[in-house]
Amino acid sequence: MYDYLGSYIAGSWVPSAGDPLAVTSPASLETIGHVSVATRDDVDAAVRAARAALADEKWASTTPVERGALIGRLADALEKRAADFGNLVSAEVGSPRKWATMGQIGTALGVLRTYEKLTGEHTFEETRRSMLGGEVVVRQLPVGVVGAIVPWNAPLFTALLKLAPALAAGCTVVLKPSPEAPLTVCKLTELFDEIGLPPGVVNIVPGDVATGEALVANPGVDKISFTGSTAAGKRIGAACAADVRRVSLELGGKSAAILLDDLDLDRRTVTGIVNGVMGNAGQICVAQTRILAPRSRYDEVVTALAEATDALVLGDPADPATQIGPVISEDARDRVRRHVREAAEAGARVATAVGDEPGPGWYLRPVVLADVTNDMAVARQEIFGPVAVVIGYDTVEEAVAVANDSDYGLAGAVWSGDRERAYEVAAQLRVGSVSVNAASPMDLGSPFGGFKQSGIGREGGPEAISAFLEPQTIIR
């Protein structure tokens, strides 16, 4: 049992008047831990601690090299306990153990190693010649206290994707994990004393929607960094706009994978395409859920994807053979089932096999839907579950138009036997990141974020450090 009762404020767990919240495994439906729902008073205390730490010389006087070394020590500490963290994220999210270790903890470590290096390389001050012949100093200052709100699907990875560049910039942070999967983020506090993190630099307030709203509304927070649904992001953006506060939003997606007509549908390629949709039970913002196939090869593509999807092993995340675990909750399972049912009623065809699902958890057999058009709800709404839709096209121009015909613009992919041709097509997509012949459109050393309703701002790479800095110009 993992119990983190209270809020982590100024270096210790402080009791809270908030109600206890049970955290349930989506696989076993058993309670695996508890947190407290942080109250507005808890959030206020956490923000005060962050503001005090921001002004304290122990943190304010650190150099970029020192902050990079601190991030490196956090990576070292996490690496030593990677198996423990992997098992916990598997238990609370339902990710298969192998995927949790590599796709969750492995990427989290990658974030830390990236900013261990980038922090010392970043330019925080430069001198320029002024237009009048004098000297101008441009300084990059920490934006201040950051309120970071992270989702449940990759809790540690998304937390560190905000935390590492914020620390690199010299900010302090109040971090709110999701109510569905707060334990892995809370466990991170066990490493803070070990690495010498000054008290108050990172504070954690577990809780629900009201906790997040209290954090967004707190006037002591200089910037909100949010990852989650587009609907929630719009509300947060509006709240920040009212006070002209900084905000970055990494929101939903409905990514398209364009399969060009010269693609060799060998086993490795088909596996990559399927993994790009079904990884983490489809609960990934960059999931390539719209697969665009040339009509001349449409049936071949549908058959290959359906067979590979049917071959995925659905089951207990703790079983090494499992490739796909449950979705996060009963509501999520019901929502995905409703989308599939309504798509079938609208004319889509279920190409995958229908069979029993294991219990007692929130398991769903992954689905490939054929005969889908881009105007169907299943092709336009983010489902966040193990569902792929296959849409046919006649020309590459049509494929690009269909891919871009979305309210979202987070990511995409192009698959082809000719990488240069694939690049030319990728460059026409109105999305933040595109992969060529790969399932993941994300590189930790490069900016990641969305066009249109997929968000504002970027995470990843040196650009993420800049996102937590305010330029100041001194003319002398």
Q: Which residues are catalytic?
A: 250
Q: What is the largest CA-CA distance in the chain?
A: 76
Pairing of strands 223-227, 246-250: parallel
What is the distance between the alpha carbons of residues 285 and 170, in angstroms, rounded to a whole number? 28
Structure tokens at 316: 């207990």
| Tokens at 71, concatenated | 């991030």
Separation CA 385–CA 314 (nearest Å): 14
Cβ–Cβ under 8 Å, residues 371 and 348: yes
Find out whether 191 and 78 touch, Cβ atoms under 8 Å: yes
Amino acid at the residue 31:
T
Let me know: does 275 contact 366? Beta carbons within 8 Å. Answer: no
Centre a 10 Å sphere on the Cβ of residue 191 and count the other Cβ atoms it contains: 18
What are the residue ranges of helices labelled H in 316-392? 330-345, 377-380
CA distance 289 to 278: 9
Three-state DSSP state, 357 = coil
Phi/psi-derived region of residue 437, left when phi > 0, alpha when psi is between -120 and 50, beta in every other case: left
Cis peptide leading into residue 198 (ω within 30°): no
User: At 217, phi and psi to the nearest 5?
Assistant: -80, -15
Is the backbone of residue 94 left (phi > 0), alpha (psi -120 to 50) or beta? Answer: left
Contact assessment for residue 359 and residue 315, using Cβ atoms and an 8 Å cutoff: no
**∠ CA 214-219-224, rounded to 5°:** 70
The token pair at 199 is 């008290």
DSSP 127: E
376 secondary structure, DSSP code:
S
**What CA–CA distance (Å, rounded) separates 396 from 274?**
22
Q: In whole angstroms, what is the distance from residue 327 CA to residue 362 CA? A: 6
Closest CA to 50 of 238, 245, 284, 219: 219
For residues 116 and 72, the answer to whether their CB atoms sit within 8 Å is: yes
Helix (H) or strand (E) holding 242: helix 230-242
Contact 246, 199 (CB under 8 A): no
